[in-house]
Amino acid sequence: MATRRPTYSFKTPCERCPLRAIATFREFSSEELEFVSKFKRCELAVDAGATILVEGAHSAHLFTVLSGWGFRYKTLEDGRRQILNYVMPGDLIGLQGTIMGEMQHSVEALSPVSLCVFERDKLMTLYNKHASLAFDITWIAAQEERILDEHLLSIGRRTALERAAYLIAFLFERGKRLKLFNGEASIPITQQHVADTLGLSIVHTNKTLKKLANRNLICWQERTCEVIDGDGLMAAAGWEGLGEKVRPFI
């Protein structure tokens, strides 16, 4: 695949941000909206498979995902890869790099992704002038922490089958909430991604996913996972769901 160079542009004005139409996201005050408009520098579009941020990079930007799917990951020297979490519309990426200097993980696109690019230098202004937005950023960081807690519980203590069911139910719930599915619930990941998320080998991941497919919970085709029975997955995982209602975004 010939990866095109990333495309910069300034298309969507924040006033007509498509994310604002989605029910899970909280309303902005007009004053907040005005600031965010100025905070946003431009938009960036990348292809599926493109690397958005690299571990070790210093001058990372701050982004919000406008559309598309991606994932955060870390690798060991010998190449072993661990996927940490998935990024979807409304997610803030690059916060670690912006706040603490250096990125400690990479981010890669699973589908074509478009991003809002924010002025890194204006972040301090946000904290100084817009406490409610500053609070939102902390909220987002705390939410990410919460999800990582759940993943850690999953990898550490759930069985392979439970883990797989949990992961797919988790992605399904998030996608559903963001109205990412029309009709079919297709998650754009390969079994290799699942393996690298669950800490399993591909072979064993394949056999485990096959069990879920045999139970008629999912079905795998063309590099995507189709969710057939979300509730069945949650039951198989022993997972209660995200339990989150309205959330902020920047």
Partner DNA sequence: CGTTCAATTGACTCGGCTCAAGCAACGTGG
Partner DNA sequence: CCACGTTGCTTGAGCCGAGTCAATTGAACG
Of 158 and 177, which has the nearer Cβ to DNA?
Answer: 158
- What residue 7 binds from its own copies, DNA, none (CB within 5 to 8 A, per partner kind)? none
What is the rounded radius of gyration, in angstroms, for the C-alpha atoms of the chain? 18
Q: What is the distance between the alpha carbons of residues 140 and 63, in angstroms, rounded to a whole number?
A: 13
Residue 169 makes CB contacts below 8 A (sequence gap 6+) with 230, 233, 234, 237, 239, 241
Of 3 and 128, which has the nearer Cβ to its own copies?
Answer: 128
Nearest partner of 250 among 137, 125, 144, 142, judged by Cα: 137
What are the angstrom distances between the C-alpha of 212 and each of 103, 181, 197, 216, 238? 36, 21, 17, 7, 14
Of 170 and 249, which has the nearer Cβ to DNA?
Answer: 170
The count of C-alpha atoms lying within 13 angstroms of the C-alpha of 171, restricted to the half-sphere facing its C-beta, is: 26
- What residue 145 binds from its own copies, DNA, none (CB within 5 to 8 A, per partner kind)? its own copies
Of 13 and 238, which has the nearer Cβ to DNA?
Answer: 238
According to DSSP, the residues that pair with 40 across neighbouring strands are 118
Q: Smallest distance from the beta carbon of 14 to DNA, in angstroms?
A: 34
According to DSSP, the residues that pair with 239 across neighbouring strands are none
Q: Smallest distance from the beta carbon of 198 to DNA, in angstroms?
A: 8
Of 96 and 190, which has the nearer Cβ to DNA?
Answer: 190
- Burial profile 169-187: b = 16 or more Cβ within 10 angstroms, e = fewer: bbbbbbbebbebeeeebbb
Binding site for its own copies (CB under 8 A): 72, 74, 76-77, 80-82, 84, 95-96, 99-100, 104-105, 124, 127-128, 131-132, 134-135, 137-139, 141-146, 148-153, 155-158, 196-199, 238, 244
- What residue 82 binds from its own copies, DNA, none (CB within 5 to 8 A, per partner kind)? its own copies
Binding site for DNA (CB under 7 A): 1-2, 159-161, 190-192, 199-210, 213, 220, 222-223
- What residue 4 binds from its own copies, DNA, none (CB within 5 to 8 A, per partner kind)? none
Q: Smallest distance from the beta carbon of 79 to DNA, in angstroms?
A: 11
- What residue 143 binds from its own copies, DNA, none (CB within 5 to 8 A, per partner kind)? its own copies
What one-character DSSP code corresponds to residue 223? Answer: T
Of 111 and 143, which has the nearer Cβ to its own copies?
Answer: 143
